[in-house]
Structure 1
Amino acid sequence: MSNTAAKRKLRSSYVTTVISISLVLFLLGIIGLLFLNAHRLSNYVKENLGFTVLVDDNSREAEVQRLQKILNASPYVREAAYVSKDEAAAIMQEELGEDFVDFLGYNPLLSSIEVKVYAEYANPDSMAVIENQVLNFPQVQEVYYQKNLLHAVNDNIEKITIVLAGFSILLLVIAIALINNTIRLSVYSRRFLIKTMQLVGATRGFIRKPFLATGILNGLAGATIAILLLSTLIYGMNKELQGMIGFDNLFLIGVLFGLVILLGMLITLISTFFAVNKYLRLKADDLYF
């Protein structure tokens, strides 16, 4: 094989290794992105449940506004918005596509206060306590919220968190195995070079050094490509999911990118170390098998 052909083959091996590492790290980055944002995503879902306070029809406007201010000042309330009878009718008319007030001759809807609670209070026990407290106000006729949905959301968030954690660990193990196999194949193609250097008197540390340096560089290059792919994904999804996933959190993104770089360099370094050691221990005759 000519020197040019050997260099071309070696370059192709480097490219294949870096691409394989970058794709695996990209998948790990996606899982890391979801995992790091899982808490914020669950908070977003919980804080959009809330409850509706139906106000007694005989209550005066000033009393209702005072109730709204009291609710807004409560430690469990994130936001409380007053909806008048006319506003409720307009919303209902838009949903139905017809003027039901003209058909009935009167507006049967009640004024209400739409309340959004903080995530830590969006659970069945806390909501039951809040419901009893709000019902004590004389202006309140009824407190309505979807109890079944609240139970389902809390149960499913716990299950999703456990599944996501398990899937992350599984993918990490698979990623380590894939990168390790890629590195082993790369080192395997240069096993005769390792043995030649050993036969001419080079120490194990001297032989390992360029392989470890190359492994670190491959890991860094793969992590860089993975970060570019993740950045593209984040930029594209930020427009669709702005305010939900929290891609605007630069600290969180920095932690994610740092972990990708660290994993890329660490896995390739360890895999290269053991792969080179394997061929350092082998006898020359065993290199052909």
Structure 2
Amino acid sequence: MADNKKVSAVSFFHSRFTSIISIALVLFLMGLIILMGLLGNKLSVYVKENMSFSIVLKDNVGDLDVKRMQKNLESLPYIKSTEYISKEQAARELEDELGENPENFLGFNPLQASIEVKLHSEYANPDSLKLIENKIKNYTSVSELLYRKDMMELVQHNMKRVGLVLLGLAAILMIISFVLISNTIRLLIYSKRFLIHTMRLVGATAGFIRRPFIWYNVVSGIIAAVLAICMLTAALYYLQAELTGFIQILDIPTLLIVYTAVLLLGILLSVLATIVSVNKYLRMSFDKLYYI
């Protein structure tokens, strides 16, 4: 008799542990989708504001003219920052890329001084840049403007696609998570189906029968949500270490929203799945209980 109780206890622990891990994995994926959705706009701003274009200067431009031009540019509402790159600095950067200084085999520095300009995100698109280009070209010290129009168009297009993909993934994952959690909880309730029928026979209401199952699975949902939050934190710590600049778009309020959403989803999905699962056995006749 003691052995049977021990086996039953082990089986119960194993089924609950499996249920919690399954729910935690689903909530972890949901948390990632929510996080990507919240960070999508910030990521778009970050990418756009780190895309720069070069104002190539004429050879006869002096340092005072450059400083005056930088000050004028930074006063414009659409320009976020500027950085002056001298001919010597440009040569050093090219040497780092090619492994050889161009002056060594040409006998002179063929590069021109330039100003690297970064725009505010709302202006970092091909249409706005065309207007900005026309205005900047009015400066007498400007030789030409260099920028990757195709890259800007690609970023603009991909950001829209990413938003739609994330929305679709969130909807699909929500359905999958509910079905998975529902099936997991249904397996746990399966062993109690005769108890549910007995409680119905003695006059217990549907709400009274559902209540202990709901509380039991709410606790499981909370434990699973805490595990999912721990996994999310570990994943974010890894991303922070691997991706330079990731920490700049991640803040505490965003994390709190994601963690709260994961916790609420763990409770909500567990409650809904429990109600659906228990209702199935409440509506089932006694004879059918033997054949499921």
Deviation at 1:245, TM superposition (A): 5.9
Match of 2:78 among 58, 76, 83: 76
Counterpart secondary structure, 2:246: coil
Match of 1:109 in 2: 111
Amino acid of the residue matched to residue 190 of structure 2?
Y
- Distance in 2 (CA, whole Å) between partners of 1:98 and 1:243 is 30
Say whether the 8 Å CA contact 2:43–2:249 is kept in structure 1.
no
What whole-Å deviation, never above 9, does each CA across 1:28-55 have from its counterpart, x for those lacking one? 1122222211111122221222210011
Deviation at 1:10, TM superposition (A): 2.2
What whole-Å deviation, never above 9, does each CA across 1:63-97 have from its counterpart, x for those lacking one? 11100111122211121000111111222222222
Amino acid of the residue matched to residue 252 of structure 1?
T
Counterpart secondary structure, 1:186: helix
Q: 1:126 to 1:45 in 2, by over 3 A?
A: same
- Distance in 1 (CA, whole Å) between partners of 2:21 and 2:151 is 44
Match of 2:45 in 1: 43
Say whether the 8 Å CA contact 2:53–2:146 is kept in structure 1.
yes
Match of 2:194 among 167, 183, 192: 192
Say whether the 8 Å CA contact 2:58–2:142 is kept in structure 1.
yes
Aligned length: 289
Match of 1:175 in 2: 177
Say whether the 8 Å CA contact 1:37–1:245 is kept in structure 2.
no
Say whether the 8 Å CA contact 1:227–1:257 is kept in structure 2.
yes
Deviates more, 1:56-65 or 1:89-98: 89-98
- Distance in 1 (CA, whole Å) between partners of 2:91 and 2:206 is 82
| TM-score normalised by the chain length of structure 1 | 0.95
Amino acid of the residue matched to residue 176 of structure 2?
I
Match of 1:234 in 2: 236
Alignment of 1:1-289 (within 5 A): 2-244=4-246, 246=248, 248-289=250-291
- Distance in 1 (CA, whole Å) between partners of 2:154 and 2:47 is 12
| TM-score normalised by the chain length of structure 2 | 0.94
Identity of aligned residues (%): 43
Amino acid of the residue matched to residue 139 of structure 2?
F
Amino acid of the residue matched to residue 111 of structure 2?
L
Q: 1:108 to 1:246 in 2, by over 3 A?
A: closer
RMSD across aligned positions (CA)? 1.6
What whole-Å deviation, never above 9, does each CA across 1:111-164 have from its counterpart, x for those lacking one? 110011111111011110111111011111111101111111111211122112
Deviation at 1:24, TM superposition (A): 0.9
Say whether the 8 Å CA contact 1:54–1:141 is kept in structure 2.
yes
List runs of 5+ in structure 1 lacking aligned partners: none
Deviation at 1:248, TM superposition (A): 4.1
Q: 1:235 to 1:247 in 2, by over 3 A?
A: farther
- Distance in 1 (CA, whole Å) between partners of 2:85 and 2:252 is 37
